[in-house]
Chains A and B, each alone.
Chain A
Amino acid sequence: MKHLQEVIARSSSSLHRVERRMVASAQIADAMEKCGMSKSELARKMGKSQSEVTRWLSGTCNFTSDTLADISDVLGKDITGVGASELTVKVKVKFNKNIACDFTSAGPENLSRNYIIGS
């Protein structure tokens, strides 16, 4: 188990990239299921091979933003590759000229606020 724990620790820096790929795949799979579209049908509509769609669903594909946009158009759903667990929202609001407030949210359990008091 020692090596496994070491690998989990060392690979954590690339976890967000893997998660993003897998989330994009999951979103495509869910959208296909929702609209009852098969792999072969999606492949035909996208002008791709069925094996390419299989690769999209495998969670190993580094999607370009253009490919995600094209898939989103065909499926009628926005495929972002961003899951709820890593949703990051940054909002900057100014109050009365001298108080700025930054919100950074990385999911509902990890909400932080940084208040910057200006002059």
Chain B
Amino acid sequence: METFGKTMVINGFHIIKIEDLSGRKCNIYSIASSEKGDTLFEKFIDRYCDIYKEEIDEIVNRLVVMGKAEGARIGYFKENEGKPADHVCALYDLPCRKLRVYCVRIGTSLVILGGGGPKKTGKWQEDDNLSVSARQMISFAAALFEAKDKGDICIDENGIYELIEK
């Protein structure tokens, strides 16, 4: 594991805080494959912000409200999208809207966003694009909790920290 300023790297996943969405109630991060690269959530926004304008606006507004006012309450998320107890979930979207974004939610004050896409099938496993996004978050969650279990990092209500031996 390496750290670069505000970026933490766990098993090749660069965890980057999204200051524009984070607030006193919830810290919101995303992950990238390199320090300077766009995060999965930024790529998701870039790809769909025009085609799915209303859905993207709704998702971003929901994240703003979580960050600044309400926190990442469990009801706001569709749970159990990944493996048992790996905290991978999807943001609920408006009824009749089908744009999924996957994330790892840890309590009400920490969300790590991944990518996603339009949900055209009953299960993400049946859609190539969604499978990539969901599996990325499942792999990330596995790396994150492995690092936590090994004592390399600490996760609490204020964020993710590298533990430095003194």
Contact = CB atoms under 8 A, between A and B. Distances in A.
B162 interface: no
- Interface of A, helix, strand, loop or mixed by DSSP: helix
Interface string B7-26: 00000000000101100000
Contacts, number: 84
A60 B95 contact: yes
Contact of B95 (A7, A55, A57): A55
B119 to A, nearest CB: 14
A26 B74 CA distance: 10
Contacts of B61: 11, 14-15, 18-19
A116 B84 CA distance: 62
B92 interface: yes
Given A11-B60, A15-B64, A60-B94, A3 B75 contact: no
Nearest to A26: B70
Contacts of A29: 73, 75
B62 interface: yes
Contacts of B18: 4
Interface string B49-86: 10000001110111011101110010110000000000
A10 B57 contact: yes
A14 B57 contact: yes
Contact of A3 (B46, B65, B66, B73): B46
A50 B58 CA distance: 24
Contacts of A3: 42, 45-46, 49
Interface residues of B, number: 28
- Interface of B, helix, strand, loop or mixed by DSSP: helix
Contacts of A14: 57-58, 61
Given A4-B42, A14-B57, A59 B62 contact: yes
B152 interface: no
A111 B23 CA distance: 22
Contacts of B58: 11, 14, 18
Given A3-B46, A4-B45, A60-B95, 16 more contacts: A1-B20, A4-B42, A5-B20, A7-B60, A8-B21, A8-B64, A10-B57, A11-B56, A11-B60, A18-B62, A18-B64, A22-B66, A59-B62, A59-B70, A60-B94, A83-B69
6 contacts: A4-B18, A5-B20, A11-B57, A19-B70, A23-B69, A57-B75
Interface of B: 18, 20-21, 38, 41-42, 45-46, 49, 56-58, 60-62, 64-66, 68-70, 73, 75-76, 92-95
